């Protein structure tokens, strides 16, 4: 067991700071430090209640006072828009399930007519839950501390496992709840070589916005954030591509060609190059047919289309999300990625009030 105590179901002493699922306060926490091990307790409300993870001991974090204020604002804009896209897409997801290869006609017609999905509350999914954890680590440390990020991911999962996490996270994150540092050996064993799924990409846009002032740094930090759960090079590449896209969006410089140029070689980059050659006059459903829509849950099947719709509508979050929804597939994730990229620049202030009222809060 090393330095890390077993976790008892009714006795969890704290590790990470105010992490919230369904109400995110973004407060500062306190860490005991890795050398002495982690211990924690938790106090959770219902599905929409605040889950506080209040850390004990002395927090070890870098001074974040040098982080440009605009970086913090851009990251928060991105986070809010990512959550809105995620919750919007999640409402459509059950309607887009394929049956005999066909999408239900009503769902398609509703999207094309821009009729909002039913439901008084739009709940967000694991996409937002993990983005909140990543944003918390950046807020506290100013950079990606991989062990603390692993711990925050595990605690977030433990707080509410019903957010739609994929199979790999159900395997990995309970282990990291006990031994956060074991991501180094466990993540590469998922799916025989590490996950190449879209999970690292779906949560990373706020990080790209945070480091928009330095594209190389944004890329490097995105890689660190991905490695904790997605060790396959293409899982990492998906995160790098989305982070770079969000950074370029903040700067008003988003192009598919530039994102592709800064993405590691492989299927994700190939898909981005294909997207760069696809005219924006193409109907989104057709673009999704050509680029993928996340149906296969891989980064290369998800990221190119989501970045394409973001680049197609760089100044309109609403238009970008409707266009992304037309692609069907893993629509909560594609909308989360697109939302995080476009929102890094424009935020959610211009969105219809009904959208913002329906989306589950972040605090």
330 is in an annotated binding site: yes
> Residue 264 and residue 267: Cα distance in Å, rounded?
9
> Residue 21 and residue 44: Cα distance in Å, rounded?
9
Helix, strand counts (H, E) of the chain: 17, 2
282 is in an annotated binding site: no
**What does the DSSP 8-state code read for residue 8?**
B
Closest CA to 331 of 119, 167, 117: 117
Distances (CA, A) of 360 to 8, 89, 288, 356: 30, 13, 28, 8
As given in the structure block, the two tokens for residue 45 are 């409300």
Q: Are 133 and 152 in contact (CB under 8 A)?
A: yes
125 is in an annotated binding site: yes
CB atoms near residue 248 (< 10 Å) = 27
Q: Are 19 and 45 in contact (CB under 8 A)?
A: no
CA angle 64, 349, 108 (to 5 degrees): 115
Strands of 71-196, DSSP E: none
**What does the DSSP 8-state code read for residue 9?**
T
127 is in an annotated binding site: yes
Closest CA to 306 of 289, 286, 290, 292: 292
**Pairing state between β 43-44 and 51-52:** antiparallel
As given in the structure block, the two tokens for residue 91 are 């409402």
333 is in an annotated binding site: yes
Q: Are 148 and 31 in contact (CB under 8 A)?
A: yes
Which residues belong to the annotated binding site for Mg(2+)? Answer: 125-127, 330, 332-333
Which residues belong to the annotated binding site? Answer: 125-127, 330, 332-333
């Amino acid at each position: 067991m090393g330095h890390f105590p077993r976790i008892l179901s009714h006795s969890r002493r704290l590790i990470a700071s105010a992490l919230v699922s369904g109400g995110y306060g973004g407060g500062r926490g306190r860490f005991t430090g890795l050398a002495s091990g982690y211990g924690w307790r938790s106090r959770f409300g219902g599905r929409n209640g605040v889950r506080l993870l209040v850390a004990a001991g002395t927090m070890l974090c870098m001074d974040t006072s040098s982080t440009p204020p605009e970086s913090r604002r851009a990251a928060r804009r991105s986070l809010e828009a990512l959550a809105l896209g995620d919750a919007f897409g999640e409402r459509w997801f059950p309607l887009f399930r394929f049956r005999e290869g066909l999408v239900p006609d009503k769902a398609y017609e509703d999207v094309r007519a821009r009729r909002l999905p039913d439901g008084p509350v739009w709940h967000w999914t694991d996409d937002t839950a993990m983005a909140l954890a990543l944003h918390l680590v950046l807020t506290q440390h100013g950079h990606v501390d991989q062990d603390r990020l692993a711990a925050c991911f595990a605690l977030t999962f433990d707080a509410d496992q019903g957010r739609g996490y994929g199979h790999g996270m159900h395997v990995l994150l309970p282990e990291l709840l006990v031994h956060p540092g074991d991501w180094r050996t466990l993540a590469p064993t998922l799916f025989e070589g590490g996950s190449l799924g879209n999970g690292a990409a779906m949560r990373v846009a706020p990080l790209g916005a945070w480091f928009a002032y330095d594209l190389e740094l944004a890329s490097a930090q995105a890689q660190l954030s991905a490695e904790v759960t997605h060790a396959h090079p293409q899982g990492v590449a998906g995160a790098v591509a989305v982070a770079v896209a969000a950074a370029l969006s903040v700067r008003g410089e988003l192009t598919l060609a530039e994102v592709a140029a800064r993405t590691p070689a492989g299927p994700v980059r190939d898909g981005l190059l294909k997207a760069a050659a696809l005219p924006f006059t193409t109907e989104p459903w057709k673009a999704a047919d050509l680029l993928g829509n996340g149906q296969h849950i891989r980064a290369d099947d998800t990221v190119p289309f989501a970045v394409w719709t973001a680049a197609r509508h760089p100044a309109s979050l609403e238009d970008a999300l409707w266009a992304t929804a037309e692609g069907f597939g893993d629509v909560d994730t594609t909308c989360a990625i697109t939302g995080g990229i476009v929102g890094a620049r424009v935020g959610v202030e211009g969105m219809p009030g009904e959208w913002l009222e329906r989306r589950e809060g972040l605090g």
